[in-house]
Every structure is written in C-alpha cells, then in structure tokens.
C-alpha cells in the first residue's frame, strides 16, 4: 500500500533483493478526507484496500501457490482478518513494538467498557497489567486523549484476539512481566473464543544495515575509531526526530558542559504542517553557540544521517540519548549501550517509562516530552543526564550489559526467542499440511 501521508515507505527495502520474497504493489487509492485523528484516518484508509488485498490473494498468490500457511497483519490491518477467515487460513499479528505496549492496547477496550470515554490529562495514574508500576497519564500515547484515536485502537485490540498468534518483537527475559500479564488476561477472558498463542521472537535487528550505507559513514566511523572505548555519547532521534534551533543550541551547551565526547545526529525540523522527513543542515553554526565547533574539535562530531546500528556497535560508544523508539531500544540493548530517555511521539513516552522506571535500563531525562508541544529541555538537565549516563560503574550500565548477553542468548539455538520462532514455524507447517 502506498503511504497516505506522501512519505515513501519502500525505500531500499532489503526484502526486494531476496528472491524468496515477492513484493506486490497494490493500486493507488485516494485517501479519505482527513479526520480528527491520524489513527482513525489510517484505519479507514487501510479498510479501502480490503478488496484489493483479497483480489491479490485470489488472483496472484493462490494461482502460484497451492496452499497458504497464514496471513500476517500489523496492528492497523485487523480488517484483513476477515479475508483470512474467508479463505479459511489462520491470521497472525506481527507486533513491532514491545509486549508492554501490546498489553496497554489490550487494556483499552476493557477500560472503555467501564468508563465509556477517552483519557483526560487530569486522570490519575493507571494500573495497566503489563507494567510493573502505575502508569502516569502524562506518559500515555497521544491517541488515548482523542476519542477517534482511542476508539480506533480499542477496536483493533478487540480483534487481536481473533488471530491465531501474537508475534512480538521482544524477548521473555526483557519483558517477562508484560508477557505473563497477557497470559493472565487470556486466562480471565470469559468468552468462548480461544486466545491466540504468544510468540516472543526478538530482538529482530538488522545488524549489517547494508541498505543504509552512505558516503558520510566513513567520516563518522573514523571519528569513533579515534576515541577511547565507551567514551562517546551518541545522540540520535529517529527518522522523524528534530528540534527547533533554540533547543538545538541548548543541547550543544549541555553537551559542552558535561565534558564528554559526543557524536550528535542533527536534523533540520521540516516546515510546519508538512509531513516529511527532517532535512540536513548545511551550516551548523546557524544554531550553535559561538566557538562551539572550535572548543569541541576532536572530542565531538555533528552529522546529519548516522548509521545507528554501526555506531551503537562501535567500541567507542558508551551511551545513547534516544527518542526511545522500540527498534532503537532493542539495538541499544543488543550492544550493551545504556539509554538517556528523550521520547518525542507515538508510544515513545511509555517506552521510556518502561525502560527507565519498570526495567531500570535507562537514565531518565524526560518521560513526558512531546514533539511539537513547545516543551523545552534545559542545558542543565541535559548535562545532568549525560553525566549520569556515562558513569562507568553505574548499576544501570551493569544491568544493560547483562541484558545484552540475554538478547544474544535468546536468538541463539535453544534460546527463548529461537524456540518461540521454532514453535511458530511448526504451527505454520501444520497449517500447510491441513490445507
């Protein structure tokens, strides 16, 4: 499906080069009139593709394959469960975020049945079964405060249980509480419908990142090669992460005051009202304090794009100031690099809460920062968080190193995620035998 937001979603897809994977581009459809929530808009847009998906399976997939093992959907595509049911094959949800956030979505319908409305910002902390601690209202994703967004996600979550399996990009060792809470929800369900199996198969990480190789990679890696082990704090805020120039200047002041070496991926904020990726700065001096580049020469580097996985895997990288996207969290844990939490949008605030408060694997800078809200993080806050992060003997650093080892064992032969993936493959194979 083409993105309804005008943003390319298929740039350099590694799957395209794999002859076992066929990408079928569906016809373009005009998106619906924009509604009061992105979630409702996206849900309605995907609904319009339903007949195209069914037609594609019947006329392009089935003629070339006598049997289908299953249909895999993401959290916005629950309408496609109907198609799987029609062609009598099981559906599976692939959930790209963590089990705790999945648990939050499963909690929404039950809460709505009791309360009958969305959250308001003055609500007290919530007892959400997939989190160890009560969840503050100010770290909940923005869609729960919008009726259209709340109802859309609650509707999707109700349908998750119609699938045969929940495939989650996480590992039991990281989110044991959340995964067990999902089993408890299933046990307490009074309906006759059996609950889907849960398959934690993560962390799923592209450690090679070959499709992202760019010319500025060499200068970044050369800079890191010249730094002592675990001495560099890496700042990177994801594909859509950017700040205004006043906030960028404050980050620069905080970094300089901390005295630590740094690699900072800086992106220019897109024009207001535009849905597009942030741009690159041609001149960093537009926002930096006077003389900053000279004073930090050799110990700090600014760049636009950065090869995040490679940077996190470099021996010089000792800390990560992150937007707390789930992929970034898993990548940092894989390489044993502790995080400073600076969430921006989507479910990143509640991810930051999970990492800093529930799991003790990150240093809390902010949990409730919201992109575009006018919030401002001071240089003193940044200095304090970076200094706390780069403490070589901190308990958080030790816990992250231990979790790194657990992540690697989980996907090794006989590990928890490897075994879970094997169970999923067995179920898919049985489906083929039965069809």
* 314 vs 221: CA distance, rounded Å: 8
Residue-wise pLDDT for 278-329, tens only, equals 778 888 998 999 999 999 999 999 999 899 999 999 999 999 999 999 999 9
CB neighbours of 279 closer than 8 A, spacing ≥ 6?
A: 267, 268, 270
Predicted pLDDT of residue 363: 96
Predicted pLDDT of residue 385: 96
- Tell me, yes or no, if the pTM score tops 0.75: yes
- With both helix axes pointing from N to C terminus, report the angle between 326-334 and 395-411 in degrees, rounded to the nearest 10: 90
Domain spanning 211-392, CATH architecture: 3-Layer(aba) Sandwich (3.40)
CA atoms within 13 A on the CB side of 426: 8
Query: Diameter of the chain by CA atoms?
Result: 70
Predicted pLDDT of residue 12: 45
Fold of 14-200+413-434: Rossmann fold (3.40.50)
Ramachandran category for residue 300: left, alpha or beta (phi over 0 → left; psi -120 to 50 → alpha): beta
The domains of the chain are located at 14-200+413-434, 211-392
Sign of CA dihedral 362, 365, 371, 373: positive
Q: Which tokens belong to 47?
A: 């609904």
Residue 131: closest CA among 95, 100, 171: 100
Residues of the chain with pLDDT under 50: 10-12
């Amino acid at each position: 499906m083409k993105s309804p937001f005008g943003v390319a979603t298929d740039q350099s897809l590694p799957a395209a080069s794999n002859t076992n994977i066929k990408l079928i581009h569906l016809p373009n459809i005009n998106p619906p009139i924009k509604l009061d929530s992105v979630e409702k808009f996206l849900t309605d847009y995907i609904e319009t593709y339903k007949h195209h998906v069914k037609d594609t399976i019947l006329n392009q997939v089935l003629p070339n394959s006598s049997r289908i093992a299953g249909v895999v959907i993401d959290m916005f595509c629950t309408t496609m469960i109907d198609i799987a049911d029609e062609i009598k094959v099981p559906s599976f949800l692939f959930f790209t975020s963590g089990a705790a956030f999945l648990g939050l979505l499963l909690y929404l319908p039950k809460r709505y049945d009791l309360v009958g409305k969305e959250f308001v910002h003055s609500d007290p902390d919530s007892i959400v079964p997939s989190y160890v601690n009560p969840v503050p209202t100010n770290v909940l994703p923005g869609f729960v405060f919008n009726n259209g967004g709340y109802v859309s996600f609650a509707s999707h979550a109700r349908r998750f249980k119609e699938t045969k399996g929940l495939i989650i990009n996480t590992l039991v060792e990281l989110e044991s509480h959340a995964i067990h809470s999902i089993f408890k929800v299933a046990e307490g369900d009074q309906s006759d419908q059996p609950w889907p199996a849960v398959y934690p198969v993560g962390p799923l990480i592209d450690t090679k990142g070959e499709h992202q190789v760019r010319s500025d990679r060499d200068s970044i890696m050369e800079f890191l090669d010249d730094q002592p082990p675990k001495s560099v704090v890496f700042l990177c805020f994801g594909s859509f992460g950017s700040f205004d120039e006043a906030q960028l200047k404050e980050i620069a002041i905080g970094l300089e005051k901390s005295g630590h070496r740094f690699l900072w991926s800086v992106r220019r904020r897109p024009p207001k009202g535009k849905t597009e990726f942030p741009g690159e700065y041609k001149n960093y001096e537009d926002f930096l304090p006077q003389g900053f580049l000279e004073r930090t020469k050799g110990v700090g580097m600014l760049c636009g794009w950065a090869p995040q996985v490679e940077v996190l895997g470099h021996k010089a990288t000792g800390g990560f100031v992150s937007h707390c996207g789930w992929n970034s969290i898993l990548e940092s844990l894989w390489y044993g690099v502790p995080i400073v939490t600076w969430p921006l949008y989507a479910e990143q605030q509640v991810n930051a809460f999970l990492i800093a408060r529930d799991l003790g694997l990150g240093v809390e800078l902010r949990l409730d920062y919201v992109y575009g809200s006018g919030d401002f993080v001071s240089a003193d806050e940044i200095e304090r968080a970076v200094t706390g992060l780069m403490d070589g003997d901190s308990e958080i650093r030790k816990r992250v190193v231990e979790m790194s080892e657990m992540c690697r064992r989980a996907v090794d032969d006989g590990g928890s995620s490897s075994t879970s993936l094997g169970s999923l493959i067995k179920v898919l194979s049985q489906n083929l035998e039965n069809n």
